[in-house]
Chain A
Amino acid sequence: MRLLSSFLVGLLFGLGLVISQMSNPQKILGFLDIAGNWDPSLIVVMMSALATTLIGYRIVLARRKPAFEAAFQLPVKTVIDRPLLTGAALFGVGWGMAGLCPGPGLTIVTIGGLAPFAFLAAMLAGMGLQRLVKV
């Protein structure tokens, strides 16, 4: 059941990205280019997703446990430290260069030609590199 739910949630998440066009790098860059012909769509996507999750999490996390697992697995760190901020800063630079973040990068792999493969290969390399390098 937990495999099926993972698959269906992944599918739904991807449909959300495709319907909101967040799967299109041009659309992401249209938002990030505030000095150009600015497209505020990403803000609306984020607000809508946040409002839904904010309310939904309140209801779900009031329960004792999730349906298919023994317990909720929530992040435990609360300190704003240097790795968090350095990582987020580098992530943002990469997001602006590519117009893609991990979700959309994976989502468009069958419909985006060669570029998503280049993005994903480099992203996986970056993830591997992070484990080796101490910042």
Chain B
Amino acid sequence: MDSFTPLSAALGGFLIGLSAVLFMALNGRIAGISGIVAGALTPVKGDWAWRAAFVAGLILSPLVAWLAISEKPAVTFTHPIWLTALGGLLVGFGARLGGGCTSGHGVCGMARLSKRSIAATGTFMATALATVFILHRILGF
């Protein structure tokens, strides 16, 4: 457990929660990233710009952090790029079929005590843990 970083995890988690609360208070919406992105793919008049603005904020955030602490946030890929892409395909497909991802179900939905979100979060946690177990411990990735 030598890579455990509880303080930055708690602070970052607080900011994620705070942004979910602010988004509900100001825009009246669930801060679910897959839903925000998917909705931008089939643009409806008047329903596109706020989605683009949210994504622009996300994309700028590591650059703001980089400027603030003059250190580039670490990003390390340990899996091959084809596996990352295959994962992306399943993430996109699964998030839409299941109506949400880690943010929409895992944070916002669970915080609303939604039975659907609790079931979804339990399910994707289980299959993700099983997938990494198979990839790392059996297939040797």
**Nearest Cβ in chain B — how far from A30, in angstroms?**
6
Q: Which of A52, A57, A79, A91 contacts B91 (CB 8 A)?
A: A91
Which residues on the B side are within 8 Å of A2 (C-beta)? Answer: 26-27, 50
Q: Which of A80-125 contact B (CB under 8 A)?
A: 80, 83-103, 105-116, 118-125
Given known A5-B22, A118-B84, contact A106–B55 (CB-CB < 8 A): yes
- Assess the B123–A30 pair: CB atoms within 8 A: no
Q: Which of B55, B65, B94 has the most chain A CB atoms closer than 10 A to its own CB?
A: B94
- Assess the B127–A96 pair: CB atoms within 8 A: yes
**Complex formed: what's the CA distance from A110 to B139 in Å?**
31
Which residues on the B side are within 8 Å of A17 (C-beta)? Answer: 12, 16, 61
**Complex formed: what's the CA distance from A135 to B139 in Å?**
28
- Assess the B133–A39 pair: CB atoms within 8 A: no
Interface size on A, residues (CB 8 A): 118
Q: Which of A9, A23, A129 contacts B19 (CB 8 A)?
A: A9
- Assess the B81–A118 pair: CB atoms within 8 A: yes
Which residues on the A side are within 8 Å of B62 (C-beta)? Answer: 14, 18, 23, 107-108, 110-111
Which residues on the B side are within 8 Å of A118 (C-beta)? Answer: 81, 84-85, 88
Q: Which of A47-101 contact B (CB under 8 A)?
A: 47-54, 56-57, 59-61, 63, 65-69, 71-75, 77-80, 83-101
- Assess the A102–B137 pair: CB atoms within 8 A: no
**Complex formed: what's the CA distance from A134 to B83 in Å?**
25
Q: Residue on A with the closest CB to B24? A: A60
**Complex formed: what's the CA distance from A50 to B117 in Å?**
12
